[in-house]
Structure 1
Amino acid sequence: MRPSDLFGGSPFGRRVRRPGAGRVPVTVVTGFLGAGKTGLIRAALASPDAARTAVIVNEFAELGVDDVLLRTSAEDVRLIGNGCMCCAARSDLQRVLRNLYAERETGAVPPFDRVIVETSGLSDPGPVLQLLAGDRALSGHYAVSALVTVVDCVLALDGQAPPEWIEQVVLADRIVLSKTELASEAQVARVRAHVAALNPGAEILEASNLRADPLAWLAPVAAGGARGFRAAPAAVGPDAVSCQSFVLSFDTPFRWEVFLQVMETLLALRGDDVLRVKGLVHVEGCAGPVAAHFVRHLAARPEELTAWPDADRRSRLVFITRNVSAAQVQALFDAVLALAPPPG
């Protein structure tokens, strides 16, 4: 939905303790072909703590979680043991998610408490995020918990990885390094440094270290990123198609309609290049922050939280952009704020 569509009654609904409270958390797993997405998911599903998990494999042709994911149609649902189930989505992920929720409510499928969406290894995860942000029905039932990107430490830097992996890394909330046991320590260190430069706000885990806690990568991330907010812009170089991430902070509280005016102007002008925006907004009249999330031209439903996560009461927004600088976005905020009518 567009930012202006968020008006109508209360723009925030009921206050919640954390973003997405009361909705089914969705973890999107991406990474290039053969990076280890399937192995990561399979290891998690083997844990008793993964019971009541639904898995959607969003590509028909790719092999699934070994032989436990049986896919014969676009909406085929199979029980895969341990209270988990899987359904395949060849193309219409929107329809699969809607049907899955409706069937859970009617008892046609077993109850589930989380959803994992495994994307194609050659896909941009942005459309999945856009779908979950922009579809009103889905956003009322589901909330993005984290975008997790799996990176193959053997292939990532030797020229064999497809170019799509750069955007997969830049958009990630959490990065899992796979095949570290097959790579040298120097290779692993180089890959870790590279992905940290591409996405300085993401938490980086190693798949080999997840054996003790195979569900650690499923933990929800904070509104501003897994490792909190970073104050300095982080350009990631020409190989990332001029992608960059940066944080803007604002000391003065916003009126909500003014904040939306800035964001709507930014997305109207450069929405294709604003890959993702997440953060906490200090809004006049709200006791806690408002969690905001934008994906390209779309805005997810905002949520007022009951309390700030720390003593810092500034608005803090993490931007992931392509050919749009922190200075340009800051200038837009300054211009709109300077022209905004006085309160009252």
Structure 2
Amino acid sequence: MDTTGTRIPVTLLTGFLGAGKTTVLNHLINDPEAGRIAVIVNEFGAAGLDHDLIEASTEETILMQSGCLCCTFRGDISKTLGALMARKKRNELSFDRIVIETTGIADPAPILQTLVMDDLIAPYFRMDGVVTLADAAAGPATLDAHSEAVSQIAMADRIVVTKTDLVSEDDVAAFETRLADLNGRAKPITADRGAVPVGGLFGISAMREDVSAEDIAAWIGNSSAPQDAANGTAFQARHDHCITSASIEIEAPISANAFDFWLDMLLAFKGPDILRMKGIVHVDDMPWPFVFHGVQHIFDAPVPLKNWSGQDATSRVVVIARNMSQDDLDASLNMLRMKPKEVETTADGMVHETAPMPF
């Protein structure tokens, strides 16, 4: 599979009903800095595209004056992506990236998994980032009532706060504090009546070989959550709908056995409840680090950073999970600190560990 960055980047635009995804899309389509993008929506009628921007249309595709295009999908995103790639190869369409607008109640996980698992599209597309819109006016009540909205926020790489003009500054500040409690690692952006700087939406993922240390830091994010000085894990203080988040930094290279054992056990016991996991890992006896990303039990191929020039050998791992206590999540991450003698693989291929399992 291509990991060099030549695959077409895909941005997932999500957010609960009424958050303003259509307004953001219309601004994006009309922004010359966005370049040639293919926007995939559920239905044209629901998208409410600005008809003044439309140049030509067919039953399944709308071409915009900006050079962008929009197409519909009705339940099978892999077929839609495959059809777009086929038309691109035939020079019938031209685009450099894709933006997928989900329905307001959609869980982003299935689309993320499709981009990894589908053998027909995975070689051609890569996830660039999850961008979640959060309505400053209706958002607090939505988060209280709908676990889907909480998951969308927790899984985001970027959070776009919309409709700030409809509420007071104090209400906006309180809402942003709640968003930070839910996901303190996602860079927040405020939309100006639907307009968002393109640079804040694209180029998010670090899953490419030419990534810089700065890009990785931005992708993993810096949490404002308190940190346990004794074990180096940071955690989120708020628990909305049983969602917790934790991260760990380990300065010395990690034992390969310890990392494999930790990951295998975490997925075996809690795989369906892992919303997202990502990080950069420096492994013993490996000349370069690698970045990885997973959703539930599905992982994209890890990307080795063979051109890594940074002197920092700190591994950083972030886990966002549902129905997992903070103590269990912190204990799981601390398994990464185990020394090789604590995790041993015998001649029969069985892994034995000396530390107790936290689950």
Counterpart among 114, 124, 141 of residue 131 in structure 1 = 114
Corresponding residue for residue 294 of structure 1: 294
Instruction: From the superposition, tell whether residues 151 and 113 of structure 1 become closer, same or farther in structure 2 (CA, over 3 Å).
Output: same
Corresponding residue for residue 82 of structure 1: 66
Q: 2-side partners of 1:336 and 1:321: how far apart? A: 26
Corresponding residue for residue 123 of structure 2: 140
Q: Is the 8 A contact 1:235 1:243 kept in 2?
A: no
Q: Find the residue that maps to 1:112 and give its secondary structure.
A: coil
Counterpart among 339, 344, 349 of residue 340 in structure 1 = 344
| Residue pairs, 1:1-344, within 5 angstroms | 16=4, 21-58=5-42, 62-67=46-51, 76-109=60-93, 111-158=94-141, 162-208=146-192, 211=195, 213-221=197-205, 222-223=215-216, 225-226=218-219, 228-230=221-223, 232-237=234-239, 240-254=240-254, 259-308=259-308, 310-324=310-324, 325-330=328-333, 332-333=335-336, 338-341=342-345
Report the CA distance between 1:132 and its aligned residue: 1.5
Q: Is the 8 A contact 1:178 1:207 kept in 2?
A: yes
Q: Is the 8 A contact 1:292 1:302 kept in 2?
A: yes
1:90 alignment partner AA? R
2:329 alignment partner AA? A
Q: 1-side partners of 2:10 and 2:3: how far apart? A: 20
2:321 alignment partner AA? T
Larger Rg: 2
Instruction: From the superposition, tell whether residues 327 and 159 of structure 1 become closer, same or farther in structure 2 (CA, over 3 Å).
Output: closer
Instruction: From the superposition, tell whether residues 14 and 140 of structure 1 become closer, same or farther in structure 2 (CA, over 3 Å).
Output: closer
Deviates more, 1:130-139 or 1:32-41: 130-139
Instruction: From the superposition, tell whether residues 49 and 280 of structure 1 become closer, same or farther in structure 2 (CA, over 3 Å).
Output: same
2:188 alignment partner AA? I
RMSD between superposed Cα atoms in Å: 3.0
Report the CA distance between 1:267 and its aligned residue: 1.2
Q: Is the 8 A contact 2:255 2:339 kept in 1?
A: no
Report the CA distance between 1:78 and its aligned residue: 2.0
Q: Find the residue that maps to 2:127 and give its secondary structure.
A: strand
Deviates more, 1:315-324 or 1:290-299: 315-324
Instruction: From the superposition, tell whether residues 72 and 34 of structure 1 become closer, same or farther in structure 2 (CA, over 3 Å).
Output: farther
Q: Is the 8 A contact 1:174 1:202 kept in 2?
A: yes
Q: 2-side partners of 1:293 and 1:312: how far apart? A: 20
Q: Is the 8 A contact 2:137 2:167 kept in 1?
A: yes
- Name segments (4+ residues, structure 1) moved above 6 Å: 68-73
Q: 2-side partners of 1:129 and 1:145: how far apart? A: 10
Output the TM-score relative to the length of structure 2: 0.79
Report the CA distance between 1:255 and its aligned residue: 5.7
Instruction: From the superposition, tell whether residues 128 and 15 of structure 1 become closer, same or farther in structure 2 (CA, over 3 Å).
Output: closer
Q: 2-side partners of 1:255 and 1:107: how far apart? A: 48
Q: Find the residue that maps to 2:267 and give its secondary structure.
A: helix
Deviations 1:120-168 (A, max 9, x none): 0011111111112222443321111110000110101135864321110
Instruction: From the superposition, tell whether residues 41 and 254 of structure 1 become closer, same or farther in structure 2 (CA, over 3 Å).
Output: same
Structure with more contact order per residue of length (Cα contacts < 8 Å, sep ≥ 6): 1
Report the CA distance between 1:61 and its aligned residue: 7.1
2:221 alignment partner AA? G
Q: Is the 8 A contact 1:236 1:242 kept in 2?
A: no
Q: Is the 8 A contact 2:153 2:179 kept in 1?
A: yes
1:183 alignment partner AA? V
Q: 1-side partners of 2:32 and 2:188: how far apart? A: 24
Report the CA distance between 1:92 and its aligned residue: 0.1
Report the CA distance between 1:284 and its aligned residue: 4.0
Structure 1: unaligned runs, 5 residues or longer: 1-12
Q: Find the residue that maps to 1:172 and give its secondary structure.
A: coil
Output the TM-score relative to the length of structure 1: 0.83
For these two proteins, the number of residue pairs brought into alignment is: 322
Q: 2-side partners of 1:14 and 1:91: how far apart? A: 27
Percent identity reads 32
Q: Find the residue that maps to 1:177 and give its secondary structure.
A: strand
